[in-house]
Amino acid sequence: MERFNTKNALYPLLGFVISIVTLVYGLIMARHDNIFYFYACVWVLFVAFGYIRSCLAVIPVALLMCLTFGGITYAISGNVENTVVALSRSIAIVLAFIPGLAVSSTLFIRNLQQFKVPKVIVLGMMVALNFFPILSKEIKQIKQAMRTRGVTTIANPKVFYRALLMPLMSRIVNISDTLALSVETRGFTTDKSSVTIYNPVKIDLRDVAFVIIFATLAVLTAVL
């Protein structure tokens, strides 16, 4: 995930709101004639604001989802209009992921703390955001170990169980323990004690400009 982060990402909570709005707007306006123009403009807007890596990364996912859900819809209904709606909703889901891919988890957690979000929720977000990147690295290490031992396929149930599943379950337990100890040693608590943010995240004119342009595109799509 870190390879998609951008130094000039939007205000973290603003990016989260933009994701939700993009998803909801896309699902509601899926049958609108201009919705695909809206998607194209939003994608270009993200690129212009420095989200180029995330924008490129979602293209294969968008193609896969469109082929899958569009194909299933057409195979079941045989209706072109319903197929186009399925494609529209698939693209809305993919676009909603762009801000989340580009934002730093550290900035997002810091932003949550600024708004006095309950510490239990912040702790859950912190663990979730760090768990999956670590898990991905562990899976890669397991696969490398399998290749070193000459294991080239996991089609055999015994091989899958002994070479992949068991090491993975063991490492998941270790990851959980490591994350718990890491949180504890850094003094993170769930009580009502106050938290001081050394370097608070601030909204700047760039964030305001993005919101204005995004809102304008949404309104024009609905009106025209």
Q: What is the pLDDT of residue 22?
A: 92
Q: Tell whether 150 is covered by a domain.
A: yes
In a shared domain, residues 172 and 62: no
Residue 63 has pLDDT above 60, yes or no: yes
Of 110, 103, 117, 121, nearest to 51 (Cα)?
Answer: 103
In a shared domain, residues 94 and 120: no
Helix, strand, or coil here: 217? Answer: helix
Q: Which domain holds residue 210?
A: 2-103+204-223
In a shared domain, residues 51 and 98: yes
Residue 170 has pLDDT above 70, yes or no: yes
In a shared domain, residues 12 and 70: yes
Cα 179 to chain centroid distance, Å, stands at 21
Distance CA 1, CA 105 (A): 9
In a shared domain, residues 77 and 9: yes
Residue 4 has pLDDT above 60, yes or no: no
0.75 exceeded by the pTM? Answer: no
How do residues 9-40 score in pLDDT, each as one tens digit?
788 888 888 999 999 999 999 888 889 999 99
Q: Tell whether 124 is covered by a domain.
A: yes
How do residues 81-101 score in pLDDT, each as one tens digit?
999 999 999 999 999 988 877
Q: Which amino acid is at 111?
A: N
Average pLDDT (91-116) is 80
Tally of domains in the chain: 2
Residue 183 has pLDDT above 70, yes or no: no
In a shared domain, residues 40 and 98: yes
DSSP notation for 69-100: HHHHHHHHH--HHHHHHHHHHHHHHHHHTHHH
Least confident of 43-57, 86-100, 185-199: 185-199
Residue 1 has pLDDT above 60, yes or no: no
In a shared domain, residues 95 and 26: yes
Distance CA 146, CA 66 (A): 34
